[in-house]
Amino acid sequence: GQSLEQPSEVTAVEGAIVQINCTYQTSGFYGLSWYQQHDGGAPTFLSYNALDGLEETGRFSSFLSRSDSYGYLLLQELQMKDSASYFCAVTANSGNTPLVFGKGTRLSVIA
Amino acid sequence: DAGVIQSPRHEVTEMGQEVTLRCKPISGHNSLFWYRQTMMRGLELLIYFNNNVPIDDSGMPEDRFSAKMPNASFSTLKIQPSEPRDSAVYFCASSSRGANYGYTFGSGTRLTVV
């Protein structure tokens, strides 16, 4: 089976840094993905980690620790437009199983 | 590329009626996924196809739900008869190379059953 835990809500100040954590219990874990979803919109792909360590893409970075079954999404230089829900998702069995999503973290960026 | 195209964007129907949701994946993508999103249950996988073949439909909640993919460019999700608890946003997504390159989601169909 698969289960993911992430905080339901996070609030941060514009220009600051925020970290959204995700822990998972996944048989045959293969990789951890992150998606962003604005209200009324579709989930959009942000990042994917299969190996331990940090992956950086612009203001967003994603980290994975396979031994701790833990990952996080780091957002730097927060902007108002970053207010959205962020989902972690896992795939298993050499990536042959479809993504299973966490419940999402709603990020509110305030001035 | 127009992305993944879903229709209709919104559907309001009466309980007991048949509902058909449609999806056109990105050309060249060989995997197609149907997800349902609600506040209570989040994003749930209903069914997915590889090369037009249904691989796993264990997420389909009941026999009232069925999905088809007659060719590489079209898929339908049908609910018959519909019930108020089916109210949700239904997303179709496609992928060419698996999770590591990301899924592309359509804009979704917001279904309301009254």
Walk along chain A (111 residues) in steps of 10 and give the mean pLDDT of each run. 92 98 94 97 96 95 97 98 98 85 97 95
Report CB contact under 8 Å: B42, A44.
no
Of B43, B91, B102, the CB nearest to A48: B102
Question: pLDDT tens string for chain B (114 positions)?
Answer: 689 999 999 999 999 999 999 999 999 999 999 999 999 999 999 999 999 999 999 999 889 999 999 999 999 999 999 999 999 999 999 999 888 889 999 999 999 999
* Bond from prior residue into B8 cis (ω within 30 degrees of 0): yes
Please choose, from the candidates B5, B9, B11, B36, the residue with its C-alpha nearest in 3D space to the C-alpha of residue B23.
B5
Report CB contact under 8 Å: A48, B108.
no
Report CB contact under 8 Å: B103, A99.
yes
Order of strands, sheet of A2-5, starting from the edge strand that comes earlier in the sequence = A2-5, A18-26, A70-75, A60-65, A53-57
A33 close to B (CB below 8 A)? yes
Q: Identify the residue among B105, B107, B109, B110 best suited for mutation to test binding to A, counting A beta carbons within 10 A and taking the highest.
A: B105
Q: What distance in Å separates the CA atoms of residue A42 and residue B110, rounded to the nearest whole number? A: 11
Whether the Cβ atoms of residue A88 and residue A25 lie closer than 8 Å to each other: no
Residue A93 has what pLDDT?
Answer: 82
Residue A2 has what pLDDT?
Answer: 81
